[in-house]
Amino acid sequence: MSLNPQQRAAVDYCDGPLLVLAGAGSGKTRVITEKIAHLIGRRNLAPGKIAAITFTNKAAREMRERAGRLLRGDAADGLTVCTFHALGLRFLQLEHERAKLRRGFSVLDADDTRGLIKELAPANSKPDALFALQSLLSRAKNDGLTPEQAAARAGSVREHEAAAIYAAYQRRLAAFNAVDFDDLIRLPLGLLEADEEVRAAWRERLRYLLVDEYQDTNAAQYRLIKALAGERGAFTVVGDDDQSIYAWRGANPDNLNELARDYPALRVDKLEQNYRCARRILRAANAVIAHNGHLFDKRLWSEQGEGAPIRVTECRDDEHEAECVAAAVVHLAQQHKVAWSEFAILYRGNHQSRAFEKALRLVGVPYHVSGGTAFLDRAEVKDLLAYLRLIANPDDDAAFLRVVNLPRRDIGATTLERLGELAGTRGLSMLRALQYDALLTPLTPRAAASLVRFGQLIGEFAARAQRMPAADLVDELMQRIGYAEHVAGQVKDAALRERRLANLRELVEWMRAMPSHGAGDLAAQLALLTHGDRDDPGNAVRLMTLHAAKGLEFRCVFLVGVDDTTLPHEGSVEEGRLEEERRLLYVGITRAKEFLTLSYARRRKRFGEILANEPSRFLKELPADDLHRVGHDPAQDAARRQEMASAHLARLAAMLAE
């Protein structure tokens, strides 16, 4: 299919800064990949001079594959297609000395970060207080602030406390030769803004930038774009202010305004033709989002058919809502030959999934809940990645503490605490301290001997890491330490034990498939992977939050919990964030290609009580002519009930026959 005129204009324009306002389902990824091919094939820009930046590894992988198909052969060699954090990692690996890091530095994950903050926070800090501290530190970094700048800006007692912990936290990271996720943006940004030589070198290295999901950038990410693009403004950013739903993690939709102010020559192109949704669905989406303020107006349109009326279902309570949705899923699957994977049940919060899981199980419908424990968050996988980090970086105390007693080596907590104190007196990491007899003498002979053997093991594998693939290294390490036997001994349930052992095998095979340049590089790459990167549900109904659904599409969508305590969420209403809640609904509506149902319950169980609910105020913003309110047309409802009953009986018969 050829590009439409608006897409073609966005692809062809390369003479200045460009903002592409791309509505839902308007082909924005195609515009980016076609523009990459245009820059290389027609503008003769070397692939290595182009960077396409997005927010998930999954999106980057899809973009890279599509660009490769357009260019063919080796024409795309050297092209950078990655996330912001992966670009920051690449920068720091090349500029580690300027960033005051040693080669092979570690990237700490969220668990490591929480552990460090807990150590530095006041004793007996409650989980909520620790989470608030972690959020304040992350927000300071996302604003590009150093600990000193954060302290200068602090106004409240809590902010002063957070700034002090931020300074101690950064000292600890420096001792570990480590960075966290936020540093992958903050440190490159600091160097680019402060060092003219570095800035000039990177602007020459990356001559053109393409940024996807621009509305999701935070303050530091926008400053990074500006620092790399410079006054030339050789960039195309693609975004949609109507889909800005991540303010809670620092995303700033006002970056659209900043772009227009910082680049007066900015050209704005709009992609308004939607290739996904039926017209009724688009009319509903346009009607809802029209109630939000806009810097740039746009209105989606489609050449698709009208589609089925949007159903609005009032239910008695949570369980009744789940039963209605499950019955409708079975009915649509049978009447319209819809595969299970073409259904999505979308909700505001993860806690809402339970009733729908139960209802789908009762009618024998396979389902997959997105947002469960990610593969890389499983304990056995994190253990092996910690070994890999320590092999690559002997100063990574967080990794050391995780694996020094896995499998058990009879090294107690008191011994480790004492070792940490002794290492601190010499300014050494805990692993490096094992090389000094004087630091081991105060420990018990048995503990000291175990620690020495552990240090020798890591040293041996560190030497071998220079000449063997990381997958082979980890495979051999598991055999050497008997890790599979350790896992098997920890789990009594046979099925769970097999799943955990399968995770180990899968990790090794996955490592074999990943491009890397050694243990440290691979450990850092793996640290950047997100939950969605391994979310492969197969042929099953998808259950997920509205936030997780962004970027996806389904033939049949059920938006559930559309009531005035859930969507909009009452906390967001109280805090004046109604527009973002409306954007969430807009995102949910535009996931549907053909069939859309919105449901709400008159009563919900909250905090152990049954409370009355009002339908969402957003329902009044939908075009009445495009809705079918279940219960308002007795004849039509009776016919549908008969169809659904027949479908339900057929499903039960099929289950009994299996």
Residue 512 annotated among the catalytic residues of the structure = no
Which one is catalytic: 6, 29, 83, 113?
29
Per-residue exposure over 589-610, b if at least 16 CB sit within 10 Å of its own CB, e if not: bbbbbbbbbbbbbebbeeeeee
Q: How far is CA 7 from each of CA 10, 34, 308, rounded to the nearest angstrom?
A: 5, 9, 29
Residue type present at position 414: T
The DSSP code for 2 is P
Residue 417 annotated among the catalytic residues of the structure = no
Q: How far apart are CA 48 and CA 5, in angstroms?
A: 29
Do β-strands 541-545 and 367-369 pair in parallel, antiparallel, or remain unpaired? parallel
Which one is catalytic: 134, 236, 243, 525?
243
Closest CA to 19 of 298, 263, 236: 236
Contact 173, 186 (CB under 8 A): no
**Ordered alpha helix ranges (H), 482-493:** 483-490
Residue 506 annotated among the catalytic residues of the structure = no
| Cβ atoms within 10 Å, residue 299 | 13
Residue 591 annotated among the catalytic residues of the structure = yes
| Cβ atoms within 10 Å, residue 617 | 16
Q: Is 579 helix (H, G, I), strand (E, B) or coil?
A: helix
E strand or H helix that includes residue 101: none
Residue 354 annotated among the catalytic residues of the structure = no
Which one is catalytic: 7, 28, 183, 216?
28
Residue 548: HSE in the Cβ half-sphere, 13 Å Cα cutoff = 20
Residue 620 annotated among the catalytic residues of the structure = no
Which one is catalytic: 109, 112, 212, 579?
212
Closest CA to 439 of 395, 431, 351, 98: 431
E strand or H helix that includes residue 402: helix 397-403
Q: How far apart are CA 651 and CA 470, in angstroms?
A: 49
Which one is catalytic: 226, 348, 582, 591?
591
Query: Hey, which residues are catalytic here?
Result: 28-29, 212-213, 243, 591
